Amino acid sequence: MEITSKSSGKSAAQMKRLNDTKTILRQPILLIAVIATIILLALFVVYPLVKVFIFSLTDETGKFSVENLHNILTSSRYLKVFGRTMLLGLIVAVLATTVGYIFAYTITRVDIPMKGFMKTIATLPILSPPFVLSLSVIFLFGKQGLITKNLLGIKGNNVYGMPSLIVVQVMSFFPIAYLTLSGILSSIDASVEDAACNMGAGRWKTFWTVTFPLSLPGIISGALLVFIQSLEDFSNPATIGGDYTTLSIEVYNIITGTYDMRKGSVLAILLLVPAVTAYLLNKYWVNKKSFVTVTGKPTQARKLIEEPHIKWPLFIICMLFAAVVLLFYGTVIFGSFVRTWGIDFSMTLDQYRRALQYGFGSLENSIILALISAVIGGMLGMIIAYITAKRDYYGKKFIEVASVLMFAVPGTVLGISYILGFNTKPLLLTGTAAILVIVFTFRNMPVAIESGTTTLLQIDNSIEEASTILGANSGYSFRRITLPLLRNAFFSGIVYSFTKAITAVSAVIFLVSPRWTLVTSKIYGLFDLAKYGQASAFVTMLIGVLLLFIGIFNTIINLLLAPRSRVPKLTKKAEESK
């Protein structure tokens, strides 16, 4: 046949790419969207990161040089910092995953009371503003510590250092492990465990031979995610790390203290490499190992474990942990109303008054900039999801990789890359609000893209075809069918972006300017001045702001945007003529 000869030598994937590319070239709006996206990603994601690499591999004159790299890799001080960072990451990953597993197993498998409460405790810290747990460690165990000084009578207890850091990071990051593991544990088909039981295995044996091995990919995944969080963390090591300096702190000290951007860049890359490695391992290796197949069908209901000798010990362990979490949050809120912690516990609103005098503007800035970036990020995220989900063309791979890259990059590295990239004309953005909005947008957008893509992939092709065959052109179908279906993904992206932006520390700590301060950098400043009371007032307000805005977003989603069922009526005239 004459048709066969034309296409020989090219794979089908290449043919599809070629065809889709041609289709896009014919659709001006789509083409503009693709090109604009590529330019934005190249400028605000790839370019600054490349700049960090260039800086770390050149000397003052701009010539290629490995001198900085060599100096740092042979310096015992920096190797020690690197080793400490990794060690902390490993310890926290193991402990947080263990706690997360106990919570996930107890909540998905055991018939315990107060499950809703447990779930809340195990997810709430994800939304928590930074500094809360550090503050309460200081309030409870510091020099003026409620437990150390007032209860135990220890004078001048040094709370700063590795043990506090471990406690605080485990409490901050165990929810990440919990969410991953409860997802995996509840998707293991109940009948697999029943089968083991049926063949004579007891609870203990069933757990070690079936449940545990099946959840292993989730355990590794959770541990890797916690490890990344621990590496990236700036606010906790900066406030209660004391002498235990981690990489992100070291980068901050070098850049704010000595302005040695080259040394800073090398250290940033030292931080970037393990974080990105862990991210890629999780994304491409662990996820492929997963045994769990999601069919979308509800599996048979699980019979929960009721034996008292399993139920009550697990309940008590979870309860104790939950009590500690509550104690820590409660301490900070309590602390914000106290006149002088450790000395004068009388109630007052002075802390709030002073905090607002000191930094009301920064709170306002944070809210406004976070909102702007969340909306932009949400829209851009939907556009990227739309142009990548069901098409293949030259340049798509770039969009896909570049748009999620920022997710894997530690905030400190991001901050330094933006200083390097945007401190000279024509790209002079440092000191402006724009740079903050851009950083928030590109850093927090991946979640919107992810949920948008998932939504689009779930929309059966035939739904768009149905719209087409009923006479709609592609623009009409997009407005009336695709866009409304993306609404929920858009709003969940916005909620995530907003929360992350308003609580961001490491990425913005270098980018704030006297004109544009943010609430988190102000709180960090209060730690330096040891004004913990004001800091706790600020943190409490931040919790309030977060809850308020999440509430507002949810109300918008539920009330204003829920599909309303409307049926039009005939006009009076037509009714009569009928």
Q: Is 507 helix (H, G, I), strand (E, B) or coil?
A: coil
For residue 29, state whether it binds another protein (rule: CB under 8 A): no
For residue 484, state whether it binds another protein (rule: CB under 8 A): yes
b/e per residue 67-76 (b: at least 16 CB within 10 A): ebbeebeeee
For residue 7, state whether it binds another protein (rule: CB under 8 A): yes
For residue 560, state whether it binds another protein (rule: CB under 8 A): no
Kindly tell me which residue out of 21, 468, 550, 553 binds another protein, with binding defined by CB under 8 A: 468
Integer Cα distance of 390 and 387 in angstroms: 7
Which uninterrupted H or E stretch holds 340? strand 338-340
- Cα 279 to chain center, whole Å? 12
For residue 463, state whether it binds another protein (rule: CB under 8 A): yes
Intra-chain end-to-end CA distance of the chain, in Å: 61
For residue 558, state whether it binds another protein (rule: CB under 8 A): no
**Region from 2-10, 305-313, 333-341, 431-439 binding another protein, contact rule CB under 8 A:** 2-10
Q: How many residues bind another protein (CB under 8 A)?
A: 37
- Least separation, in Å, of the C-beta of 218 and another protein? 30
Cis-peptide into 237, omega within 30 deg: no
Q: How far is CA 78 from CA 121, 225, 246, 284, in A?
A: 37, 24, 10, 31
Q: Which two tokens stand for residue 393?
A: 């063309």
* Cβ atoms 404, 452 nearer than 8 A: no
- Least separation, in Å, of the C-beta of 451 and another protein? 16
Kindly tell me which of 301 and 574 has the beta carbon lying closer to another protein: 574
- Least separation, in Å, of the C-beta of 452 and another protein? 15
For residue 470, state whether it binds another protein (rule: CB under 8 A): yes
* Phi, psi dihedral angles at 145 (to 5 degrees): -65, 135
For residue 556, state whether it binds another protein (rule: CB under 8 A): no
Kindly state the DSSP code that residue 145 receives in the 8-state scheme: -
Kindly tell me which of 74 and 473 has the beta carbon lying closer to another protein: 473
**Region from 4-12, 151-159, 519-527, 551-559 binding another protein, contact rule CB under 8 A:** 4-12
Kindly tell me which residue out of 71, 316, 465, 544 binds another protein, with binding defined by CB under 8 A: 465
Which uninterrupted H or E stretch holds 15? helix 12-26
Kindly tell me which of 161 and 484 has the beta carbon lying closer to another protein: 484
Q: Which two tokens stand for residue 346?
A: 């009388």
Kindly tell me which residue out of 42, 481, 550, 557 binds another protein, with binding defined by CB under 8 A: 481
Candidates 174, 168, 172; CA nearest to 244 is: 168
For residue 200, state whether it binds another protein (rule: CB under 8 A): no
Candidates 40, 60, 44; CA nearest to 418 is: 44
- Least separation, in Å, of the C-beta of 471 and another protein? 4
**Region from 127-135, 218-226, 374-382, 469-477 binding another protein, contact rule CB under 8 A:** 469-477
- Least separation, in Å, of the C-beta of 490 and another protein? 13
List, in order, residues 6 or more apart from 300 with CB less than 8 Å away: 189, 190, 191
Kindly tell me which residue out of 60, 344, 460, 528 binds another protein, with binding defined by CB under 8 A: 460
* Cβ atoms 175, 321 nearer than 8 A: no
- Least separation, in Å, of the C-beta of 466 and another protein? 4
- Least separation, in Å, of the C-beta of 5 and another protein? 9
* Cβ atoms 326, 121 nearer than 8 A: yes
For residue 574, state whether it binds another protein (rule: CB under 8 A): yes
- Least separation, in Å, of the C-beta of 391 and another protein? 16
- Least separation, in Å, of the C-beta of 2 and another protein? 10
Kindly tell me which residue out of 180, 235, 403, 467 binds another protein, with binding defined by CB under 8 A: 467
Q: Which two tokens stand for residue 84?
A: 């400490």
- Least separation, in Å, of the C-beta of 531 and another protein? 51
Q: How far is CA 184 from CA 168, 180, 211, 570, in A?
A: 26, 6, 10, 52
**Region from 88-96, 212-220, 261-269, 568-576 binding another protein, contact rule CB under 8 A:** 568-576
Q: Is 338 helix (H, G, I), strand (E, B) or coil?
A: strand
**Strands 344-347 and 338-340: what pairing?**
antiparallel
Taking the alpha carbons of 178, 184, 190, 195 in that order, is the dihedral positive or negative? negative
- Least separation, in Å, of the C-beta of 498 and another protein? 24
Kindly tell me which of 15 and 154 has the beta carbon lying closer to another protein: 15
For residue 559, state whether it binds another protein (rule: CB under 8 A): no
Kindly tell me which of 432 and 468 has the beta carbon lying closer to another protein: 468
* Cβ atoms 543, 124 nearer than 8 A: no
* Phi, psi dihedral angles at 293 (to 5 degrees): -105, 125
* Cβ atoms 378, 448 nearer than 8 A: yes
Kindly tell me which of 6 and 425 has the beta carbon lying closer to another protein: 6
- Least separation, in Å, of the C-beta of 460 and another protein? 6
- Cα atoms in the 13 Å half-sphere on the side-chain side of 217: 19
Other Cβ atoms less than 10 A from the Cβ of 574: the count is 9
Kindly tell me which residue out of 211, 469, 503, 509 binds another protein, with binding defined by CB under 8 A: 469
For residue 476, state whether it binds another protein (rule: CB under 8 A): yes
Kindly tell me which residue out of 25, 29, 466, 552 binds another protein, with binding defined by CB under 8 A: 466
Other Cβ atoms less than 10 A from the Cβ of 175: the count is 23
- Least separation, in Å, of the C-beta of 475 and another protein? 11
Kindly tell me which of 199 and 470 has the beta carbon lying closer to another protein: 470
Residues that bind another protein (CB under 8 A): 1, 3-4, 7-8, 10-13, 15, 460, 462-463, 465-473, 476, 480-481, 484-485, 563, 565-571, 574, 578
